[in-house]
Amino acid sequence: MPQLKQRLAVICRSHHLSLVKLLGASISGDHIFLVYDFVDGANLAACLRNPKNPNFSVLSTWMSRMQIATDLAHGLDYIHNSTGLNMSLVHNHIKSSSILVTEPSFNAKICHFGTAQLCGEIDENEAPEDSAPAGGSSPRYKGEIQEEVSETTPSKLRRSDSRKLQFEGVKGYMSPEFQSTGVATQKSDVYAFGVVILELLSGEEPFKYKFDKAKGDFVRTTVIETARAAIGGDDDDGGLRRWVDRKLKDSFPVEVAGKLIRLALDCVHVEADMRPNMGRVAGKISKLYLESRSWSDSVKMPTGISVSLAPR
C-alpha cells in the first residue's frame, strides 16, 4: 500500500496537454478505481468509423489527422521520456478507442496514463517463467484491466493466480514479443502507436476478415499488410491514394502521406530493437506536420479573391 500511494503521488504530478490527467485512485478490496479528469469528446475509433454514417467522419481533412498524429506522438514521448519520474513508464494500452478527440480543435488526448504502474504491471525482469503460452496457442494475459476483441465489451477485473499482475493485450495492437511473453515494454508501445497511425490514415480497423471466393474461406488481413502493399507496389502513387481513407476525398499531400506510412511501418517492425524510440518518432512527425501545414496553406483559396455562383 505505501508503494502504491507513492506511485500515485508521482504520476498525479505529471502533466501534458495530450494526456488525460490522473486525479487520484480509490481502493476497494482487490480492485483499484482510477479517477481521471473529464474530457468532452469522442474516441478516435468512433471518429474514424461512424456506424450510423459510414461515409462521414469529423476528421475529414488531412490537417485534422496530422493534428491527431502529432498529439499522440508527443503524448507518448512524454510518457516514455519526459515525465521526470524515477521510474520507466509504459502505457501498454495504446489503441484508437483509448484516444479521445476533443472539439472544436480536434486535439488528441491519451487515456489510461498510469494504469500500468498503479495496477501492478510487472517489470520485464520479473516476468514469470511460464508466461509464454505452450504449443504456440493464443495467450490469455491476466491482470487488472482486460480487453476483449469487441470494443463495446466492458472491461473485466481480476487478479492473477501468481499474485503478479499483467495486462491482457488488445488484439490487433500487440507486438510479436508481447504476444509471446505477455510483458509490455516501451517498444511494444511504439508498435501499438504504429498500428494506430496506420488506422488513422486508412480509416480501417487493425484487422478484419474477408471472404475469399477462390479459397472458399475467410482470410484475415491487417492494416499493416495493406499499408506495405500500398507503398511497395509499382503503381506509382495510385496504390497509396486508394489505401488512404476515402473520406479525405483524395485531398492530401501524397509525399507526406508516404513518409508517415513508412514511419508507422518502422514502428511496427517485427524486431523490437529495430523500432525507433518515441523521441525520434515525435521529432519526425513534427516535421511532417509542418510540411502538411505548408501544403494546406498552398491549396487554400486566396482571401483577396471573391467567388460568386449567382447569374450575372
The CATH number covering residue 95 comes to 1.10.510.10
The C-alpha cell that represents 309 in the structure block: 455562383
- Residue 33 maps to a domain: yes
- Residue 250 maps to a domain: yes
Q: What is the mean pLDDT of the chain?
A: 80
SS3 220: strand
- Residue 56 maps to a domain: yes
- Residue 307 maps to a domain: no
- Residue 90 maps to a domain: yes
Scanning the structure block, which residue is given the C-alpha cell 494504469? 115
Distance CA 152, CA 304 (A): 49
Q: What is the pTM of this model?
A: 0.79
Bridge pairing between strands 108-110 and 207-212: unpaired
Q: Answer whether residue 237 shows pLDDT above 60.
A: yes
pLDDT band at residue 53 using 50, 70 and 90 as cut-offs: confident
Question: What tens digit of pLDDT does each residue of 98-157 get?
Answer: 999 998 888 999 998 877 767 654 343 333 333 333 344 333 333 333 333 333 333 333
- Residue 300 maps to a domain: no
- Residue 306 maps to a domain: no
Scanning the structure block, which residue is given the C-alpha cell 505505501? 2
Q: How many domains does the chain have?
A: 1
The boundaries of the domain holding residue 213 are: 2-295
- 3-class secondary structure for 224-255? HHHHHHHHHCCCCCHHHHHHCCHHHCCCCCHH
Residue 178 main-chain phi, psi, to 5 deg: -70, -35
Distance CA 232, CA 90 (A): 32
pLDDT for the residue 119: 65
The C-alpha cell that represents 113 in the structure block: 496514463
pLDDT for the residue 264: 98
Sign of the C-alpha dihedral computed for residues 200, 203, 209 and 215 taken in this order: negative
- Residue 87 maps to a domain: yes
